[in-house]
């Protein structure tokens, strides 16, 4: 189920602008990896290259190699759609489809692709995914209500359930708790801890405590100045990054002395 991710000399461009430069990173399967760093340092940009979502923006492209279990997703002939079925993504703001019920939101990955399935298979997927996202008990009686009627935290767990419903190998999360209150954040963090039993989880966060709480390993990205490319500064066990970083920039950032 779970796959390892290796980036080799990965550069990301927006048009002619080099946004992220020379990322080399090895992410283990069945682990949680957090990307931290100041705004605009390219952590989200790099995250989006892992499932080729950056290509949705006009002019964005990546150079170098990004290996999923040793297979380069940037090989010519690879369909980004195939990559995205293997690498799911959860976004900053919860974004359930407003025209669909909770049940249809979970099945969106199948329904939108026109896959036919029996009702029992579908029910199985819905229950399994919602249980996987710790949401089943809360919504099992209103599966036919619109997903937009849920609270923010529930909506975000619905989005996580939606992405695990298509059984990906990797789940990317782009600041999944930044729009949520502390209690909902806690629920999501608990969920992330459970998810790593089955998936490779990569999470971008602005909240260093969150990174310390959920991540096995942490990567620190930084940017030298406006207009300069973002770089991966340090990547290590979370405890090392927060307690004993080897790089001065990392130390300044995690200790709050960043300027």
**Region binding other proteins by CB under 8 A among candidate stretches 129-137, 149-157, 185-193, 196-204:** 149-157
- Please identify which residue in the block is written with the tokens 């919860």: 94
CB of 44 vs other proteins, minimal distance in Å: 12
89 belongs to the binding site for other proteins (CB under 8 A): yes
Residue whose CB is less far from other proteins, 114 or 227 = 114
State how beta strands 200-204 and 17-27 pair: unpaired
Q: Which stretch binds other proteins (CB under 8 A): 8-16, 107-115, 217-225, 250-258?
A: 107-115
By CB under 8 A, which span of 6-14, 71-79, 195-203, 206-214 interacts with other proteins?
71-79
CB of 50 to other proteins, least distance (A): 11
Q: How far apart are CA 144 and CA 91, in angstroms?
A: 23
Q: Does residue 77 belong to the site contacting other proteins (CB under 8 A)?
A: yes
Taking the least distance from each CB to other proteins, the nearer of 161 and 254 is 161
Q: Which is nearer to other proteins, 31 or 148 (CB)?
A: 148
Residues in the chain: 259
Q: Distance (Å, rounded) from C-alpha 242 to C-alpha 214?
A: 13
Minimum distance of other proteins from residue 23's CB (angstroms): 20
Between 98 and 256, whose beta carbon lies closer to other proteins? 98
Query: Rule CB under 8 A: is residue 14 a binding residue for other proteins?
Result: no
Task: List the interface residues with other proteins, window 26-65 (CB under 8 A).
Answer: 51, 53, 56, 58
- Asked if residue 110 binds other proteins (CB under 8 A), the reply is yes
Straight-line distance from the first to the last Cα atom of the chain, in angstroms, rounded to the nearest whole number? 41
Q: Does 246 bind other proteins (CB under 8 A)?
A: no
Nearer to other proteins, 169 or 234 (CB): 169
Over the Cα atoms of the chain, what is R_g? 18
Of residues 57 and 224, the one with the C-beta less far from other proteins: 57
DSSP letter string over the chain?
----EEEEEEEEEETTEEEEEEEEEEE-SS-EEEEE-STTSSHHHHHHHTTTGGGGSTTEEEEEEEEETTEETTSTT--HHHHHHHEEEE-SS----TTSBHHHHHTHHHHTTT----HHHHHHHHHHHHHHTT-HHHHTT-TTSBGGGS-HHHHHHHHHHHHHHT--SEEEEESTTTTS-HHHHHHHHHHHHHHTTTSEEEEE-S-HHHHHHH-SEEEEEEESSTTSPEEEEEEEEHHHHHHS-SSHHHHHHHTT---
Binding mask 190-219 for other proteins (x = CB under 8 A): ------------------------------
Rule CB under 8 A: which residues touch other proteins? Answer: 51, 53, 56, 58, 68-69, 71, 73, 75, 77-79, 81-86, 88-89, 91, 93-99, 108-115, 117, 146, 148-149, 151-152, 155, 159, 162-163, 166-167
């Amino acid at each position: 189920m779970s796959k390892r991710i290796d980036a080799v000399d990965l550069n990301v461009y927006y048009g002619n602008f080099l946004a992220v430069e020379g990322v080399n990173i090895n992410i283990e399967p069945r682990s949680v990896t957090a990307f931290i760093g100041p705004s605009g340092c390219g952590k989200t940009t790099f995250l989006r290259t892992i499932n080729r979502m950056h290509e949705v923006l006009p002019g964005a492209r990546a150079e170098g190699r990004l290996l999923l279990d040793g297979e380069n997703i940037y090989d010519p002939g690879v369909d980004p759609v195939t990559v995205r079925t293997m690498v799911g993504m959860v976004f900053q703001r919860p974004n359930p489809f407003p025209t669909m019920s909770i049940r249809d939101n979970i099945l969106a990955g199948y329904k939108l692709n026109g896959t036919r399935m029996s009702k029992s298979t579908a029910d199985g997927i819905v229950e399994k995914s919602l249980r996987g996202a710790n949401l089943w008990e809360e919504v099992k009686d209103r599966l036919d209500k619109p997903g937009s009627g849920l609270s923010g935290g529930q909506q975000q767990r619905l989005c996580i359930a939606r992405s695990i419903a298509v059984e990906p190998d990797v789940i990317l999360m782009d600041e999944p708790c930044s729009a949520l209150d502390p209690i909902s954040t806690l629920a999501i963090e608990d969920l992330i801890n459970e998810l790593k039993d089955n998936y490779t989880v990569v999470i971008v966060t602005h909240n260093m405590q969150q990174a310390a709480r959920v991540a096995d390993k942490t990567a620190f990205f930084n940017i030298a100045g406006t207009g300069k490319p973002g770089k991966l500064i340090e990547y290590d066990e979370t405890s090392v990054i927060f307690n004993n970083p080897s790089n001065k920039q990392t130390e300044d950032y995690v200790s709050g002395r960043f300027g």
